[in-house]
Amino acid sequence: MAAADTLTAPRVSPIQRLWNRDLDRYPATGPRYYYLGLVVVTTIILYYQLYVGGAVATQILGGYHMTFLYYVMILVITNAIGAFASLATGIADRIGRANLVVYGTIITSLMALIAVPHAQTKFSFGVISALTGLVEGVILVATPALVRDFSPQVGRAAAMGFWTMGPVLGSLVVSEVSSHTVSHLNAWQDQYMIAGIVGLVVAFVALLTLRELSSRLRDQVMVTLQEQTILEIRARGLDVAEATRDPYRQMFKPDILLSALAISVFLLGYYTAVAFFPIYFQTVLNFSVSQSNSLETWYWSSNAIALIVFGTLSDKLSVRKPFMLAGGVFSVLVTISFLSKATHHNPSFSSIAVLLAFTGIWGGAAFAPWMASFTESVEERNPALTATGLAVWGWLLRIVVAVAFLVLPHVVNSVTPLVNNGAQVQAAANRNPVLVAEATAHPDVFAQLAKYKNPKDIPPAVLNHAILTVGAPTLLLLQKPQAQADLKYLQAHAADVQAAQKSAPHQWQHWLWVCVGGQIFFIPMIFVLAGYWRPRRAKEALAAHDRAIMGEQPAAQPV
CA distances from 522 to 43, 258, 332, 462, 530 (A): 25, 9, 10, 67, 15
Residues of the chain with pLDDT under 50: 1-9, 154, 218-233, 235-237, 552-559
pTM of the predicted model over 0.75 = no
What is the predicted pLDDT for the residue at 488?
A: 73
The closest alpha carbon to 395, from 69, 165, 88, belongs to 88
**pLDDT tens-digit readout, 147-195:** 776 665 545 566 666 677 777 777 778 777 877 776 666 677 888 888 8
Amino acid found at 241: A
The rounded distance, in Å, linking the Cα atoms of 371 and 144 is 9
> d(Cα 473, Cα 538) in Å, to the nearest integer?
82
Instruction: Tell me the sheet residues that pair with 355.
Output: none
- Give the span between the Cα atoms of 541 and 319, in whole angstroms: 11
pLDDT at residue number 259: 92
Q: What's residue 91's pLDDT? A: 62
Which pLDDT score, from 0 to 100, does residue 523 have?
95
Q: What pLDDT is attached to residue 144?
A: 76
By the 8 A CB rule, do 63 and 190 touch?
Answer: no
How far CA 463 is from CA of 212, 233, 433, 466, in Å, comes to: 83, 99, 22, 5
Q: Could you give the CA distance from residue 407 to residue 343 in angstroms, rounded to a whole number?
A: 22
User: Dihedral of the CA atoms 116, 121, 125, 126 (nearest 10)?
Assistant: -170
Note the pLDDT tens digit of each residue in 353-370. Answer: 999 999 999 999 999 889
Q: What values do phi and psi take at 382, rounded to 5?
A: -170, 105
Sequence-ordered list of residues with C-beta below 8 angstroms from that of 16, at least 6 positions apart, any chain: none
CA angle 490, 492, 497 (to 5 degrees): 70
